[in-house]
Amino acid sequence: MDPVLIPGVGKPGDQLRLSRLDFQGLGLTTQELSIASRLAQGPLTAEDLLASSGLPRTEAIGYLSRLIASGVLARVTVEAIHGSSAPARPPTVAAEFTLDVQAVDLSPERQREITELLVRAETGDPRVLLGVSPTAGPDEIKAAYLRLSQRFHPDQFFRKRLGSYREKVDRLFNQFTVAFQRLSRPQESAQVAAPAPEPLDEEEEEAAAEAAEAALGPVERIKRHLFNGSLEDAQEAFAEAEFVDPENLELPKLRQELKRRRDETTAVEEYQRGLESDKRSDYYSAFRYYSLAASLDPRNPTYVERAARSLVYQGEYKEAKRLAERAVELSPNDPETHATLANVYLHAGLEKNARRELERVIELAPKHPFAKLQLRKLRWKF
Amino acid sequence: MDPVIGIDLGTTNSVLATVEAGVPHIIQNRAGYKLTPSIVAVAPNGKQLVGQLAKRQAVTNPKETVSAAKRLIGRKYGSAEVQRVRENMQYQVEGGEHDDVHILLGGKNLTVPEVSAIVLSELRKDAEAHFGQSVTKAVITVPAYFNDTQRQATKDAGRIAGLDVLRIINEPTSAALAYLSGRPATTESSLLVVFDLGGGTFDVSILEVSSGVYRVIATGGDSFLGGEDFDQRILDWLVFGFAKETQVDLRRDRMAMQRLKEAAEKAKCDLSAASETQINLPFLHSPEGGGPAIHLMRTLGRQKLEELTADLVDRTIRICEATLSDAGLSASRIADVLLVGGQTRMPRLQDRVRSLFGREPLRGAHPEEVVALGAALQGESLTAEESKMLLLDVTPLSLGITVAGGYSAVLIPKNTTVPTSATHTFTTVRDFQTSVKIMVLQGESARAEENELLGEFLLSGFRPAPRGEVNIDVTFSISADGIVSVAARDRETGLEQSITVTASSGLTPEELKKIIEDQHDQLLEQRQQNEVSQLTGKLRSQIGELEQIFPEVRTIIAKSEFGPDALAKAEQTLTRAKEVLTGADLSALVVAGDQLESTLNLFRGILSKLGGPR
């Protein structure tokens, strides 16, 4: 009779509504934000929300329960909705806005729109914010940006009383601009490009592959995923293994391996960010990314060497020398590490040491342009 | 609704406009001209002159005549640009406290915003004469390539002039707005280039216009390249030629230089239509040791002018090309090219623009007026309840901070749509570090010192913690005016961090406040003087009337028994009123006036009742 309880959420017919709008600092994931944003228009039942999330059911349930636990969503039980007395309408988002209405020159609809857009901005997906499809072309994206600007540019509220919405409108327009730039600047758009729409017949193939995989034991699957480099799947399989086969002797080793691989991936990401920062000549940030990468993956000489190099640009020669020496230690036959160390010496004015390192570079790579140039310069000096 | 005005505060001329009944139009100044020369002077009798009047006496009073103050606004005294103009300047400037420029005028030491404010006040008075009411709301234009300091200084000038500056907008954008506002709105988007060469600055902006949205894609320019530089080339040529001919260096003769300057400007204008022009300056120079005065007579051909200024024209074209490449566009994609600013009348310049874009450039009938018209339109749009028009302008220069090693780390790249902001996290690098200094820069160079230092900020009062644990989020914002502001907060505690500006080349808020207060004091003083003179005039006529009827009243009273006390009292009042006249005490004047009035009323009564037929 009673519908089955959804763990951590409640009954499928329970209504969920947003109970707070300040999401920053809660550390919500993209998926959680996208679920929360669906409620900006008004409450939905848990069942509808799960169905419309577009995510696997169990995964969506997990997000939902976390959102309820963190107080972002509030639950109104089926009983309260269909109570015997006059049905107490669950407070909607709009009702909460009315508290603010007297204070600002903004219609409640406008306030709700602004809030909803800010929720969409939180997803970090520029296409979601601008409300364009993953396949939208440049013209469509630009049209969406201009349309939103025309409605929400701070000039449209020039010298009006906006209260807390002043800051929100400013932030929103900035987000539009950032989103538009990310989508329209070709060199960066690669990172945010939509996942290519998959042809239909592949879906069947995938289903078949999944079925075949399920036949394997979880430990085997971890190894396979690790081999394929799909760390997310490996992690999932690991969780399953811990549950069904906790005594397996291979698990501790696999856990370590998994962590190392994840760290390595993160290190690559940090390294990429560092490279980007370097491109912007933001050596300060670059150093932070490189040293993060180096701490995640201490065996990789490139990270250490890059960190050293970015410190040279900042004039922190002592620390740069330490790092450059470590890079040389890690990879003694790489001319680049020696070149970096030489560069540190040059900047610090230790010409003798610099010459030694430069000569080592030439030994390893006789045509190294930096080393050749610097050695020539040093010769002129003596 | 309060009237809103648009002001094109130009290097050479300023223009005033407004929107009435939905139509933008120029407001003439009280002398009946559309252009007001951006010139301020103090005449030998101590009177302050602005505009046409100041320009007219410039030849005879070069030392006390300030022109082209816009070339100095928001600049550092020590900068190469300021030192360069100083060579050709007839008035005196000196360095201020924070390396800003001060102008010596009429025995006073004025900041550049104060001088610009004099021009703005004049325009404001013209607007008030037009509307017949007080006018405060204004949109002021600046060259798109102006940096933060120059924009801030211009806004300060507006505030000193008693204006409520709604917005600082870019001149080329403003011109585009005015030029296209007459056209029917289409949803079709089109690309427009505005080529704006004014008296002192060059701007080029590429805009995309569709259904009421004016979006600037890229902007470039040189805030030190304009018509004045073209004049200077002619001037140098004349001075050099004169020296070769007569061995006289005119550069030390201020009055001759002023005449040459005007002649050079006129010759340049002539050559836009004619292919040759005569420059005749009789009695230009009187030799120091006596002897006959020397005349100057030369012929300048268009070709020679083009030769003299070829590199200046080249510079504008190069900047155009660079801006196109910033926008990622080829010249052939541009649908329209709009020429703005008096200097674009030069045929050679038009030829070069035509060949770059492969099309005939557009120019309104009055290239000097469109900028002010656009400003008025923007003012109208901002104050309107619902506006269909929207300007999306960009920041012309990258905003960054100095990082260790003397490099600049860009936080907001140039050509980013404003308003915008970017947050950068600063981390402590030492244990228990409590403060950090941030140097904010504007410019494109990777080396910090090659960029413009906007200001130094000290973030302080960090909570004591091991290094790396305190993270301060510093948010750098650029407003729609293109003006930069900085805010900081501790990431963990969410507390606002205090920011102290430790160096800036503009006016500090305190200085600005003091200037505005002084300005108010002056206004009050002036008003008091006006009232005093008004009351004195009234008192004089009252005294005159009383003295006139006094003998008659005296005879009448002598015949009656009516109190001689009243007569004595009236005499007393009269004496006191005469005493008050010599001073300037406002309240005493009022009291004396009232007393005189009641005495007069009494006497008038006596005369009409007892005086019999007069």
Helix or strand or coil: residue B136?
coil
- In this prediction, residue B172 carries a pLDDT of 95
**Which residue type is seen at B127?**
A
Mean of pLDDT over chain B: 88
Name the nearest CA neighbour of B117 among B131, B105, B99, B133.
B105
Subunit contact A285:B391, Cβ cutoff 8 A? no
What's the rounded mean pLDDT across residues B568-588? Answer: 82
Report which of residues B580 and A38 the model is more confident about: B580
Q: Any CB–CB contact under 8 A between A107 and chain B?
A: no
Query: What is the C-alpha to C-alpha distance for residues B174 and B10, in angstroms, rounded to an integer?
Result: 13
| B8 carries an active-site annotation | yes
Nearest to A284 among B212, B390, B409 (CB): B409
Chain B residues with CB under 8 Å of A146 CB are: 210-211, 213, 215
B215 lies within 8 A of chain A by CB:
yes
- How many Å lie between the alpha carbon of B112 and the closest alpha carbon of chain A? 29
Cβ of A313 within 8 Å of Cβ of B391? The answer is no
Which of A114-123, A246-255, B392-401 shows the highest mean pLDDT?
A: B392-401
pLDDT digits (tens, 9 = 90+) for B450-460: 888 888 888 77
Query: Looking at A117-131, A185-199, B156-170, which range is the least confident one?
Result: A185-199
Clarify whether B314 is annotated catalytic: no
Q: Do A280 and B382 touch (CB under 8 A)?
A: no
**pLDDT of B62 over the 80 cut:** yes
Instruction: Quote the minimal CA–CA distance from B222 to chain A in Å.
Output: 24
Judged by CB atoms closer than 8 Å, whether chains meet at A281 and B446 is answered as yes
Average pLDDT of the residues in A104-123:
84
Question: Tens digit of pLDDT for each residue in B479-506?
Answer: 999 988 888 888 877 777 666 665 565 7
Residue showing tokens 């987000």: A175
Lowest mean per-residue pLDDT among B39-43, B157-161, B228-232, B423-427: B423-427
Cβ contact B213–A174 (<8 Å): no
Provide the CA B391 distance to its chain's centre, in angstroms.
22
Give B464's DSSP letter: P
- How many DSSP H helices and E strands does chain A contain? 20, 3
**pLDDT over 50 at A95, yes or no:** no
For the ranges A228-242, B189-203, B268-282, B533-547, the lowest mean pLDDT is seen at A228-242
Alpha carbon of B392: minimum distance to chain A alpha carbons (Å): 9
* Contact present, B90 and B97 (Cβ < 8 Å): no
User: In chain B, how many H helices and how many E strands?
Assistant: 13, 27
Residue B611 is predicted with a pLDDT of 61
The answer to whether the beta carbons of residues B36 and B118 sit under 8 Å apart is: no
pLDDT of res. B503: 53
The per-residue pLDDT for range B581-592, each reduced to its tens digit, is 887 777 788 888
Count other Cβ atoms within 10 Å, centred on residue A314: 18
Higher pLDDT, B32 or B568: B32
- A191 near B CB under 8 A: no
- Which of B138 and A1 is assigned the larger pLDDT? B138
Please judge whether B409 and A316 are an interchain contact, meaning their C-beta atoms are less than 8 angstroms apart.
Answer: no
Q: Quote the pLDDT of residue A192.
A: 34
Between A45 and B350, residue with greater pLDDT: B350
pLDDT tens-digit series, residues B6-38: 999 999 999 999 999 889 999 999 999 999 999
Is B231 considered catalytic here? Answer: no
**What per-residue confidence (pLDDT) applies to B170?**
96
* Model-level ipTM above the cut of 0.85: no
What is the C-alpha separation between A24 and B474, in angstroms, rounded? 17
User: Token match 């000549």: residue?
Assistant: A281
Whole-number Å distance between alpha carbons of B398 and B454: 12
Residue A150 in contact with partner chain B when CB distance is under 8 A: yes
User: Among A9-18, B356-365, B452-461, B462-471, which stretch is predicted with the lowest mean pLDDT?
Assistant: A9-18
Q: With 90 as the cut, is the pLDDT of residue B102 above it?
A: yes
Beta strands in B62-210 (DSSP E): 65-67, 92-95, 101-105, 108-111, 137-142, 164-170, 190-197, 202-210
Cβ–Cβ gap B403/A149 under 8 Å: no
Closest CA to A284 of B439, B240, B432, B100: B439
Q: CA-nearest residue of chain A to B413?
A: A280
pLDDT score, position A102: 44
Kindly state the average pLDDT of the residues A9-38: 72
pLDDT of residue A41: 66
Give the count of beta carbons closer than 10 Å to the beta carbon of residue A261. 16
* Cβ pair B420:A174 closer than 8 A: yes
User: What is the C-alpha separation between B84 and B66, in angstroms, rounded?
Assistant: 16
Q: Return the percentage of chain A with pLDDT > 90, whole number.
A: 5
Mean pLDDT of A255-259: 83
- The pLDDT of residue B247 is above 80: yes
* Cβ neighbours of B409 in A, within 8 Å: 280-285
**Among candidates B230, B139, B120, B227, which has minimal Cα distance to B178?**
B139
- Cα-based distances in Å from A338 to A4, A302, A332, A345, B464: 66, 12, 8, 11, 39
In chain A, the residue whose alpha carbon lies closest to the alpha carbon of B425 is A285
B275's torsion region: left (phi>0), alpha (psi -120 to 50) or beta?
alpha
Residue A98 has pLDDT above 50, yes or no: no
Question: Chain A partners of B404 at a C-beta cutoff of 8 Å?
Answer: 283-284, 313-316
Pairing of strands B23-26, B39-42: unpaired
- Is pLDDT of B54 > 90? yes
Is the pLDDT at A82 greater than 70, yes or no? no
User: pLDDT tens across B194-211, in order?
Assistant: 999 988 899 999 999 988
Decide which of A279 and B522 is more confident. Answer: A279
- What DSSP assignment string belongs to B527-540? HHHHHHHHHHHHHH
Between the alpha carbon of residue B148 and those of residues A154, B79, B504, the distances in Å are 20, 16, 11
Q: Mean pLDDT across the stretch A191-208?
A: 38
A382 touching B, CB under 8 A? no
Residue pLDDT, tens place only, A319-343:
888 888 888 888 888 888 888 888 8
Q: Do B416 and A177 touch (CB under 8 A)?
A: yes
pLDDT the model gives residue B360: 93
Ranking A173-182, B350-359, B594-603 by mean pLDDT, the lowest is: B594-603
Q: CB of B577 within 8 A of CB of B592? A: yes
How distant is the Cα of B22 from the closest Cα of chain A, in angstroms?
A: 18
- Say how far apart CA A269 and CA B482 lie, in whole Å: 34
Residues in chain B with CB shorter than 8 Å from the CB of A174 are 419-421
List B55, B70, B76, B414, catalytic entry: B70
Locus of tokens 């004015």: A349
Instruction: Name, of A189-193, B289-293, B418-422, B515-519, the range with top average pLDDT.
Output: B418-422
Instruction: Please give, rounded to a whole number of angstroms, the shortest distance from the CA of B402 to a CA of chain A.
Output: 9
Over 80: is that where the pLDDT of B411 sits? Answer: yes
List, for residues B344-359, the tens digit of each pLDDT value.
999 999 999 999 999 9
**Nearest-CB residue to B408 (from A150, A153, A281):** A281
Alpha helices by DSSP H, listed for A193-316, are: 200-215, 218-228, 231-244, 251-279, 283-296, 301-314
8 Å CB contact of B404 and A315: yes
Residue A23's pLDDT is 63
Beta carbons of A281 and B409 less than 8 Å apart: yes
Average pLDDT, chain A: 76
What number is the average pLDDT over the span B27-56?
93
Is B213's CB within 8 Å of A150's CB? yes
- Which pLDDT belongs to residue A210? 58
Is any Cβ of chain B less than 8 angstroms from the Cβ of A66? no
Which CATH number applies to B4-226+310-392: 3.40.50.300, 3.30.2350.10, 3.30.420.40, 3.40.50.620?
Answer: 3.30.420.40
DSSP-based three-state secondary structure for B614: coil
Residue B399, amino acid: L
Indicate which residue of B100, B114, B126, B196 is catalytic. Answer: B196
Contacts of B211 in chain A (CB under 8 A): 146
Distance separating alpha carbons of residues A230 and A378, to the nearest angstrom: 50
CB proximity B445 to A under 8 Å: no
pLDDT score of A205 more than 60: no
Is residue A288 less than 8 Å (CB to CB) from chain B?
Answer: yes
pLDDT at A196 over 80: no
The answer to whether residue B485 neighbours chain A at the CB level (below 8 Å) is no
- Is the pLDDT at B313 greater than 50, yes or no? yes
With a pLDDT cut of 90, the percent of chain B lying above it is 50
| Residue B222 annotated as catalytic | no
| Residue ranges per structural domain of chain B | 4-226+310-392, 227-309, 399-506, 511-610
Q: Which residue is catalytic, options B100, B114, B156, B171?
A: B171
pLDDT band at residue A209 using 50, 70 and 90 as cut-offs:
low
Q: Can you tell me the distance from the alpha carbon of B157 to that of A136, in angstroms, rounded to the nearest whole number?
A: 47
The enclosing H or E element of B20 equals: strand B13-20
Burial B256-274 (b: 16+ CB within 10 A, else e): bbbbbbbbbbebbbbbbee
CATH number of B227-309: 3.90.640.10
Q: For the residues A22-38, what does the mean pLDDT come to? A: 71
| Contact between A156 and B387 using a beta-carbon 8 Å cutoff | yes
B469 contacts: CB under 8 Å, gap ≥ 6: B428
Residue whose entry in the numeric block shows the structure tokens 């959804």? A6
B164-170/B436-442 β-pairing: unpaired
Give the H/E segment covering residue A171.
helix A165-184
Residues 6+ apart with CB under 8 A from A12: A3, A4, A6, A45, A46, A47, A50
- In sequence order, which residues have a C-beta less than 8 Å from that of residue A51 and are 6 or more positions away? none
DSSP state of B79: S
Within B15-111, residue ranges assigned H as helices are 52-56, 80-87
- Least confident window among A188-197, B132-141, B302-311, B585-594: A188-197
What pLDDT is attached to residue A165?
85
β-bridge pairing B35-37 and B48-50: unpaired
One fold for B4-226+310-392 and B399-506: no
pLDDT at A302: 84
Q: Within 10 A of B497 (CB to CB), how many other CB atoms are there?
A: 22
Shortest distance, CA A130 to any CA of chain B (angstroms)? 16
Judging contacts by C-beta atoms under 8 Å, the chain B residues touching residue A348 are: none
Per residue in B24-36, is it b (16+ CB within 10 Å) or e — as a string? Answer: bebbebeeeebbb
Distance from CA of B414 to the nearest CA of A (A): 12
pLDDT score recorded for residue A49: 79
> Under CATH, which architecture does the B399-506 domain have?
Sandwich (2.60)
Nearest CA in chain A to B401: A282
Chain B within 8 Å of A283 (Cβ-Cβ)? yes
H or E stretch including B359? none
**Among A63-67, A127-131, A300-304, whose mean pLDDT is lowest?**
A63-67
* Residue A180: pLDDT over 60: yes
Q: How far apart are CA A327 and CA B200, in angstroms?
A: 54
Mean of pLDDT values over B294-318: 94
pLDDT at B264: 94
Question: Across the interface, do A153 and B392 touch by the CB < 8 Å criterion?
Answer: yes
Strand partners, B154: none
Is pLDDT of A197 > 50?
no
- Which residues of chain A are within 8 Å of residue B382 when distances are taken between CB atoms? 155, 158-159
Residues 332-371 of A with CB under 8 A from B: none
Pairwise CA distance, residues B586 & B580, whole Å: 9
Q: Return the SS3 of B386.
A: coil
Tell which residue, A29, A128, A132, A124, has the closest CA to residue A72: A29
pLDDT of residue A123: 81
Instruction: Tell me the Cα Rg of chain B.
Output: 31
Q: Residue holding tokens 């290094």?
A: B467
Q: Name the B residues in 173-212 with CB < 8 Å from any A CB.
A: 210-212
Q: Phi-psi category of A82—alpha, beta or left, where left has phi over 0 and alpha has psi -120 to 50?
A: alpha
The reply to whether CATH 1.20.1270 applies to domain B511-610 is: yes
Cα separation values, B568 from B31, B83, B549, B580, B596, Å: 53, 73, 15, 19, 13
Residues of chain B contacting residue A284, judged by C-beta atoms under 8 Å apart: 403-404, 409
Say if the Cβ atoms of B212 and A150 lie within 8 Å.
yes
Q: Which residues of B touch A177 (CB under 8 A)?
A: 416-417, 420
Q: Are B214 and B389 in contact (CB under 8 A)?
A: yes
Is the per-residue pLDDT at A170 higher than 50? yes
Of the listed ranges A251-265, B163-177, B380-394, the least confidently predicted one is: A251-265
Q: How many CA atoms lie within 13 A of A263 on its CB side?
A: 15
Cis-peptide into B464, omega within 30 deg: no
* Pairwise CA distance, residues B91 & B376, whole Å: 33
Confidence of residue A2 (pLDDT cuts 50, 70, 90): very low
Least Cα separation, residue A33 to chain B (angstroms): 22
